[in-house]
Structure 1
Amino acid sequence: MSIGQPTGSVTVTIAAPPEQVWDLVTDVTRIGEFSPETFEGKWTRGSAGPEVGAHFAGHVKRNGVGPTYWSPCKVTVCDPPGGDGPAVFEFSVGTDSVQLNNWGYRIEPDGSGGSKVTEYFRLEAALPMRIYWLVLGWARGRTNEKGMRTTLEKMKAVLEK
């Protein structure tokens, strides 16, 4: 992670086929089982499942402490397994007029029947986000990496049962 490119990712190999991983990561109603910060999620605005343009909200407790709030999200990429390239589920966080960041999952076959799963984030290029990253990015980046690893390891435990 760097100031010039405010992104980060964590990859975990899971002994489950991409289709099973996809079903889990795209079910936003289950995120509370895995994430250390987002303790529940729900589809909103009439959306009922993963597709480009679908809306959902995550109920967040930043760093696991402090007040809670709902973060509005919109699915921006929804490419399930079976096509050319990796499966990708990505969403933006923010309002209709202001996007703050993007989160996503990339799922690829690992060659042995399992999946290589990458969770990633990417901050928007807006000046307030760049300033935030300049001041607090080092701490937030570590927190994000730890949270992504926790999320993927908990998903791995469920999928490998």
Structure 2
Amino acid sequence: MELVKPLSGEVSVAMAAPPEEVWALVSDVTRIGEFSPETFEAEWTHGASGPAVGARFRGHVKRNGVGPVYWTPCKVTKCVPNEVFEFVVLAGGPLNRWGYRLEPSEGETLVTEYFRLTPNLMMRGYWLVLGRLRGRTNERGMRTTLERMRAVVES
């Protein structure tokens, strides 16, 4: 048994929809409030109006649905339509990387949401103390997000 869980995680859900329909949801950050249990709204910033590498946005977060509410600045790092949408949360530098991979397969799309914490000393300490709990919370949140997206694209 590992003492420190890896600084990452992912969850996959198959959706009975083409990649184009799923892409429209995962790459439109202004809709995240419909799906995420923690990020209840987001908006493009710095002149961005849609997904593109380098585009910036900010997410309004309420951690675990309780506690303090705060804005997180983000920057898109990968944007390949119908394949991958990824961004980093910025806090003086990249702190946490989140993304979605889309893989078409016989009339459906396998969607994988993932995260990876930047392995700096502060994050390793955080993960050592709270990693197991935070990892489970992240995985539950990703599954909730993807299940809510699936309900939209399959309706």
TM-score between both structures, scaled by the size of structure 2: 0.96
Paired position in structure 2 for 1:94 = 90
Paired position in structure 2 for 1:84 = none
Q: Which amino acid aligns with 2:103?
A: E
Match of 1:56, SS state, is strand
How far 1:4 sits from its partner (Å)? 6.3
How far 1:125 sits from its partner (Å)? 1.3
Q: Which amino acid aligns with 1:8?
A: G
Paired position in structure 2 for 1:49 = 50
Sequence identity (%): 66
The structure 1 residue matched to 2:103, chosen from 100, 108, 114, is 108
Measured in 1, the distance between the counterparts of 2:5 and 2:107 equals: 37
Structure 1 runs of 4+ with >3 Å offset: none
Measured in 2, the distance between the counterparts of 1:73 and 1:109 equals: 27
Measured in 1, the distance between the counterparts of 2:144 and 2:59 equals: 17
RMSD in angstroms over aligned alpha carbons? 1.3
The count of corresponding residues between Structure 1 and Structure 2 is 154
CA pair 66-13 structure 1, distance change in 2 beyond 3 A:
same
Q: Which amino acid aligns with 2:130?
A: L
Identify unmatched segments of 5+ residues in structure 1: 82-86
Q: Which amino acid aligns with 1:90?
A: E
Assess if the C-alpha contact under 8 Å between 2:37 and 2:141 holds in 1: yes
Q: Which amino acid aligns with 2:122?
A: P
How far 1:3 sits from its partner (Å)? 2.8
Identify unmatched segments of 5+ residues in structure 2: none
Measured in 2, the distance between the counterparts of 1:143 and 1:45 equals: 31
Q: Which amino acid aligns with 2:116?
A: R
How far 1:133 sits from its partner (Å)? 0.5
TM-score between both structures, scaled by the size of structure 1: 0.92
Match of 1:74, SS state, is strand
How far 1:138 sits from its partner (Å)? 0.3
Measured in 2, the distance between the counterparts of 1:125 and 1:2 equals: 16
Q: Which amino acid aligns with 2:101?
A: R
* Residues 60-88 of structure 1, C-alpha deviations (whole Å, 9 max, x = no match): 0000001200000000000113xxxxx11
Paired position in structure 2 for 1:38 = 39
How far 1:90 sits from its partner (Å)? 0.4
* Residues 25-52 of structure 1, C-alpha deviations (whole Å, 9 max, x = no match): 0000000000000000100111110000
